[in-house]
Amino acid sequence: MVALAVVGPAPANAKPAKAELKRAKFHLGLGAKFFRQGSYAEALAEMRKAFAAVPLPATIFNMARCYQEMGQHAEAVEHFQRYMEQGDDAKKLKKTAVALAELIPKAFGSLEVVCKPAGARVTIAGVGEGECPYTNAQVRAGSWTLIASSPGHADVTQSFTVAPGKRSVVDVTLQRPGRLTLRTDPDGADVYVDGQPAGKTPISDLKLDEGEHTLVFRLKGHRDHEQVVQVPAGEEVGVSVTLARRGGALRLTSSPSGAAVLLDDEPLGATPLEGVHLDEGLRVLRVEASMHAPWVRQVQVAEGATFDLQANMPARWPTWALATTTGLAALAGGATLLGARSAYQQRDDLLEEYGVATDEAGRLGAEIRDKEAGGDSLLLASQVMFGLGVAAGVAAGWWAWTTPEVVTGPTLTSPATQQAPPQTMADQPATNEEPDKPDDKPDKPDKPDKPDDKTATQEGSAP
């Protein structure tokens, strides 16, 4: 066993104060006491305090002894080597050399790093760095991580383990990276390479190691796209992806056909429509045809839903057409009435001018009769036209009341076929038949047949 060093005089160039030297001796003595008791951790703490007061080489030796007894071989070797550099006691130096020869194989191993290509720069945190092939005769046993880099090649981070008392050889292969150019339609998709985020499309000159890689493209409102790509070393690979939108599909027909279709107030085409994409969410469909009531539905679109819809639109004259028809009938009736009044006025003028009664045999009588007959015809025509105008107005009002202005219905949330709208009041069948009245007197029940005496006797007798 190597004994603890006794505190000697301080080096000439140190010139410690008396108080510092006294404090160092106190902690050193207390540490020696703990060491003899086998309390090596407490002894080490006191040795550190002594070294902080006066940094003596002997205290370094004593700390090395504490580490040695605690089984921390690497720390013991470090302090023994420091003592070899600073100590001047020949006896202690000899004992230190013996301790190092025993401890180094337990705490350290040698390391050699071989790179392909040669000349790569190797960096090992806590150990050192240099060009490959890199060697180090004394590396603390344990796990380490190196980083190797070379121009034109992808950096390599590699973990390795150094075994105590053995030579460890680490082979590192640096690869020329392949390059990826990634594009999507639409742009802006998040890209993940082998589960790690790589940015948003478009992406150019993305360096990857040679080999197989898994790409995932994600964009809101679109389905994820996953693709496996093979990347050759030193070559560029282009990948273009069209992302499918999330949502459902629509098939839409209408009666009448050829109606204009609007989706969220945007023109979609004319019926019939087949395989139209609908984005996810609540959408509004509107189908319009001239002289027909518009058809409107809200559709709640989920991923993968398919809607097969039929838009039935009842015929409906617009208000201006109904008003124009009624107005024209009234105007025609009014004009005809004015014509009748004009004919009667001409007849009266003839009678007043000649002051004679109607002469059925003469020319004047025939003319008067013609005027009167024309007035009668025009009067009758005006009455007919006024009647038609009134009838048209009533029919238009009834039609407008019974025909919906817009055909609507409940929000569609699942695949379904939309049938014709419910019947309006005008569509209901009318009947004047009264329901059958129930009879006041219920039917009398039939009297039961009288049993045959002979049969009853037979059925009631014992077998």
Position 241 pLDDT exceeds 90:
yes
Strand pairing report for 134-140 and 196-200: unpaired
Question: Which residue would you say has higher pLDDT here, 271 or 390?
Answer: 271
Residue 187 has what pLDDT?
93
Q: Which of 187-201, 262-276, 338-352 has the lowest mean pLDDT?
A: 338-352
Residue 436 has what pLDDT?
47
b/e per residue 278-292 (b: at least 16 CB within 10 A): bebeebebbbbbeeb
Question: Which residue would you say has higher pLDDT here, 38 or 335?
Answer: 38
Question: Distance between alpha carbon 278 and the CA centroid of its chain, in Å?
Answer: 16
Q: How far apart are CA 261 and CA 254, in angstroms?
A: 10
**Could you tell me the end-to-end alpha-carbon distance of the chain, in angstroms, rounded to an integer?**
124
Single-letter amino acid code for the residue at 415 = P
Q: Give the residue-averaged pLDDT of 254-281.
A: 88
Position 237 pLDDT exceeds 80:
yes
Q: Which of 96-110, 157-171, 225-239, 330-344 has the lowest mean pLDDT?
A: 330-344
Question: Which residue would you say has higher pLDDT here, 49 or 357?
Answer: 49
Position 346 pLDDT exceeds 90:
no
| pTM listed for this prediction | 0.40
Position 122 pLDDT exceeds 70:
yes
Q: Give the residue-averaged pLDDT of 329-343.
A: 65
CB 255 within 8 A of CB 312: yes
Q: Which of 248, 245, 279 is nearest to 264 (CA)?
A: 279
CB 198 within 8 A of CB 179: no
CB 234 within 8 A of CB 153: no
> CA–CA distance from 409 to each of 77, 271, 285, 298, 404 (Å)?
88, 19, 11, 8, 12
- pLDDT band of residue 306 (cuts 50, 70, 90) is confident
> CA–CA distance from 113 to each of 119, 173, 351 (Å)?
11, 11, 139
Q: pLDDT digits over 274-295, tens only?
A: 878 888 788 898 998 888 888 9
- pLDDT band of residue 141 (cuts 50, 70, 90) is confident
